[in-house]
Amino acid sequence: TKGIASLVWFSAFLAFFGNGFNYAVTSQYIDKFVPRKHNLAAYSVWMFVGYCGAIAGAVLVTFVRGWICGGHAYEYQCLSHHPHAATAVSPSHKIVANITSNMPIGG
């Protein structure tokens, strides 16, 4: 619906604004308190730490999802609150089950 689409645009704006705001405030802090000859090193360390955090966050998504979903893999999201959650199976599990059920006995 149009309401959800406009909310997505507003949310994306807030996310990018917040990210840019953090970089702007940090740049201002570095310019104000770090000696000019060390500005490049300070900016480089700040960017390195920021990108390491982004990579760590991206990697941790899988681990956190496993903790929240109790080790179950669902097609779209963890649906432990959904009444059919116990019967939900990911597409990869369906493929493996189909392959193994069609295998002849003895290999």
pLDDT tens-digit readout, 36-86: 999 999 999 998 998 898 899 888 887 787 777 776 766 666 655 545 544
Residue 101: the pLDDT is: 52
Half-sphere exposure of 30 (CA within 13 A, CB side): 18
pTM > 0.95: no
What's the whole-number mean pLDDT along residues 4-21? 90
93 in Cβ contact with 73 (< 8 Å): yes
d(CA 70, CA 86): 11
DSSP-derived letter for residue 107 is -
Looking at the chain, the whole-number percentage of residues with pLDDT higher than 90 is 32
